[in-house]
A = this chain, B = another copy of it.
Amino acid sequence: MSIERVHTYINAQRDYFLEAWKRLVAQPSISAQNKGVRQCAQLLEDIMRAAGIKTRRFETAGQPIVYGEVRSDRPEALTLLFYGHYDVQPPEPLEKWLSPPFEPSVRDGRLYGRGAADNKGQLLPHVFAVQAYLEAVGSLPINVKFVFEGEEESGSIHLPEFIQENRELLAADLVFTSDGPMHDSGAPVVFFGVRGILSVELVLETAGQDNHSGNKGGVIPNAAWEMVELLATMRDESGRVTIEGFYDDVLPPSTYDLELIAKLPYDPDQLAQVFGVAQLPWSKEEFYRRLTLEPTLTINGLVSGYTGPGSKTIIPGRAAAKLDMRLVANQDPEDILAKLRAHVARHNPNVRVIHHGHMFPSRTRADLPVCQTVVRAIRAAYGREPLVMPALGGSLPDYVWTRLLGLPSVGVPYANADEANHAPNENMRLDCFFQGIHASAQVIHELGQTEGA
């Protein structure tokens, strides 16, 4: 069977794949510091071209997007779009790295370096799977497209515009993203959505300065008290958000979502230990529903007045609260922001609402045939049952595919759970990297068995 030849080729080419991966990691591409990003785009294009992929660079108002394409001979072939990002997080604090972040180093079966896992070691498997297919078989059973952006770590700010301006170029049957970690147990994960996010800050000034709590205590307002009282109007005793209309557009979980949840592992004692909390009082269904299918309103930070050691007798003149809301389908961050503003204006019109940013939630129906095919391919590639999540608790710009283009989108992390992404000593296990190449090849293969739309 042709897919066996592909896997054999992948095994034979490990040295080349590892060297290319190291070259890509060695090239800094820190979007937040505009450091080396364009050089990295060029290097990535070189690697893709060497793999037999036709590439094209799209300029944006920020960093370039590397687009790639390989068409199948089969007229009825499906089209799969691989999304990834070649930019990386800043490597600081440098003194915590055991080897320099941009001098990739293999130790104990892992490649260490900034971007090793997030996301260079997870986008290259798609490239090398295509290379292996082309070399071992001569052609692809499906059309493949690549969108690799250089600003994901800076909020993907120019991605939506690129997508809207290139709708036809990006036409596809499924979007496939590898990012984040596999399960702690080493089991593969497949997810079909993410929660959105709305980040805001509430700021209140009640006086031009802090005042003495004795000499003025009782006759002037206290910014800390007013902030506490405003926040307290936003949640009830059970933790349910009381901003008017907050839940209006929340979709109830489907029967299929609940079936998927029922199959997930759940060890509340072990999780409580990982999270550092006393206990998790939820049933498995409650846990996963709350984590992935229900919205949150989180205070990320709160500050007012004196916060040093001991006491200081002041009435704070200023208070600030940072909040994020994780939103679920079909909540609209812009609508929720308007509802928050209305709530704040009603309860304390002196509080300013600063909008830090937002992403829409994204959901793909996990029971679509293409989605089922991916699950099958991942099961075959890893030889074990994947954990299929209706959605992740976190947020990714997945909505650009599902909302802007109306495409189904699936996520399959390739990195080990202890990848240390965004942290010093980021790393990816070599076996996870090679396994990822096999997985991408298997997905291409299985989708090639399916009939096109």
Contact = CB atoms under 8 A, between A and B. Distances in A.
Contacts of A229: 232, 235, 237
A352 to B, nearest CB: 15
Interface in A224-258: 224-225, 227-229, 231-232, 235, 237, 239
Given A216-B275, A275-B207, A394-B215, A312 B299 contact: no
B303 A302 contact: yes
A222 B291 contact: no
B299 A307 contact: no
A20 to B, nearest CB: 31
Contacts of A392: 214-215
A216 B206 CA distance: 34
A219 B394 CA distance: 13
Given A199-B311, A208-B276, A296-B218, A302 B228 contact: yes
Interface string A253-278: 00000000000000000000001110
A105 interface: no
Contacts of A301: 224, 304-307, 312, 314, 316
B393 A215 contact: yes
Interface stretch (A9-17, A94-102, A320-328): A320-328
A313 interface: yes
A197 interface: yes
A396 to B, nearest CB: 9
Given A215-B392, A300-B316, A301-B312, 4 more contacts: A218-B290, A220-B275, A222-B299, A303-B304
A280 B291 CA distance: 46
A317 B197 contact: no
Interface of A: 195, 197, 199, 201, 206-209, 211-222, 224-225, 227-229, 231-232, 235, 237, 239, 275-277, 280, 282, 287, 290-291, 294, 296, 298-307, 310-317, 319-322, 324, 326, 356-357, 392-395
A324 B313 contact: yes
A276 B207 contact: yes
Nearest to A357: B311
A265 to B, nearest CB: 15
A119 B428 CA distance: 66
A55 to B, nearest CB: 32
Contact of A302 (B282, B319, B393): B319
Nearest to A223: B299
Contact of A290 (B215, B219, B294): B219
A371 to B, nearest CB: 22
11 contacts: A195-B214, A195-B217, A207-B275, A214-B392, A214-B393, A224-B299, A225-B239, A228-B228, A300-B312, A300-B314, A311-B357
Contacts of A208: 276-277
Nearest to A292: B218
Given A231-B228, A357-B311, A217 B393 contact: yes
A359 to B, nearest CB: 10
Nearest to A280: B219
Contacts of A294: 218
A393 B291 contact: no
A311 B303 contact: no
B291 A300 contact: no
